[in-house]
Amino acid sequence: VSLVTEKSGEEREISTYFVDPEAVTRPAPEEVKRESHHFVSLSDLSEIVERYAGKEKMEEMDHLVQEIKEIRARYGSGSLEKAGQTIQSRIERILTGAIGPVATRGVMKDLLPLTVDEARGLLRSYMEMEKSLRDAREMVVHQEEEIRAKERFLASLVRSIDDGIISTDLQGKITDVNEGAERLFRGRQEEFVGEEVWSLICDSEYGELRNVIRNATTRHGFWRGEVSVRRKDGTECPVLLSSSRIIGEGGEVSGFVFSLKDLEEFKKMQARLIQSEKLATLGQMAAGVAHEIRNPLGSIRMCLKLIREEGLSPDLHDLLSNIDEAVSSMETIVNDLLDYTREIRLQPDDFNVAEIVRGAIAQLQDEIRGKRVEVEFSDGIHPVYARVDGIRMKQVFVNLIKNALDSVKEGEGKISLHLSETHEAVVFVVEDNGEGMDPERVEKAFHPFFTTKAQGVGLGLPIVKRIVELHGGEVYLESAPGKGTSVRVKVPKSFYTF
Contact call for residues 468 and 491 (beta carbons, < 8 A):
yes
Spatial separation of the C-alpha atoms in residues 272 and 356, rounded to whole Å: 33
The rounded percent of the chain whose pLDDT value lies above 90 is: 24
Identical fold, 161-262 and 349-492: no
**Beta strand spans in 367-481 (E):** 374-378, 385-388, 414-421, 425-432, 474-479
Does residue 199 have a pLDDT over 70? yes
pLDDT digit string (tens) for 396-415? 999 999 999 988 988 889 99
Which bin fits 4, alpha (ψ -120 to 50), beta or left (φ > 0)? Answer: beta
Q: What is the pLDDT of residue 3?
A: 40
Does residue 427 have a pLDDT over 50? yes
Q: What is the pLDDT of residue 245?
A: 92
**Beta strand spans in 248-336 (E):** 253-262
The confidence band for 117, taking pLDDT boundaries of 50, 70 and 90, is low
Spatial separation of the C-alpha atoms in residues 437 and 479, rounded to whole Å: 6
- DSSP states of 64-116: HHHHHHHHHHHH-THHHHHTHHHHHHHHHHHHHHHH-HHHHHHHHHHHS---H
Q: Name which of 406, 422, 437 is nearest 474 in CA terms.
A: 422
Q: Quick one: CA torsion of 39, 45, 47, 49, rounded to 10 degrees?
A: 140
Average pLDDT estimate for 176-200:
90
Q: What is the pLDDT of residue 98?
A: 63
**Angle CA 5–8–13, to nearest 5:** 50
Q: Please name the helix (run of DSSP H) or strand (run of DSSP E) that holds residue 485, with its range, or none.
A: strand 485-492
Is CATH 3.30.450.20 what the domain over 161-262 is classified as, yes or no?
Answer: yes
pLDDT digit string (tens) for 290-315? 767 777 777 787 887 777 777 667 77
Spatial separation of the C-alpha atoms in residues 156 and 69, rounded to whole Å: 72
Average pLDDT estimate for 422-439:
90
Q: Quick one: CA torsion of 437, 441, 443, 449, rounded to 10 degrees?
A: -130
The confidence band for 5, taking pLDDT boundaries of 50, 70 and 90, is very low
Q: Quick one: CA torsion of 477, 483, 484, 486, rounded to 10 degrees?
A: -30
Spatial separation of the C-alpha atoms in residues 89 and 251, rounded to whole Å: 56
Residue type, 294: R
Homologous superfamily of the 349-492 domain (CATH): Histidine kinase-like ATPase, C-terminal domain (3.30.565.10)
Spatial separation of the C-alpha atoms in residues 346 and 472, rounded to whole Å: 12
The confidence band for 45, taking pLDDT boundaries of 50, 70 and 90, is low
User: Under DSSP, is residue 405 helix (H, G, I), strand (E, B) or coil?
Assistant: helix
Average pLDDT estimate for 93-122:
63
Is CATH 1.10.287 what the domain over 274-341 is classified as, yes or no?
Answer: yes
Does residue 29 have a pLDDT over 70? no
- DSSP states of 332-392: HHHHHHHHHHSPP----EEEEHHHHHHHHHHHTHHHHHHHT-EEEEE--SS--EEEE-HHH
Spatial separation of the C-alpha atoms in residues 484 and 478, rounded to whole Å: 9
Average pLDDT estimate for 346-350:
89
Length of the chain: 498
Least confident of 24-38, 89-103, 280-294: 24-38
Domain residue spans of the chain: 39-112, 161-262, 274-341, 349-492
Does residue 168 have a pLDDT over 70? yes
Spatial separation of the C-alpha atoms in residues 234 and 371, rounded to whole Å: 45
**Angle CA 279–282–286, to nearest 5:** 130
User: Under DSSP, is residue 8 helix (H, G, I), strand (E, B) or coil?
Assistant: coil
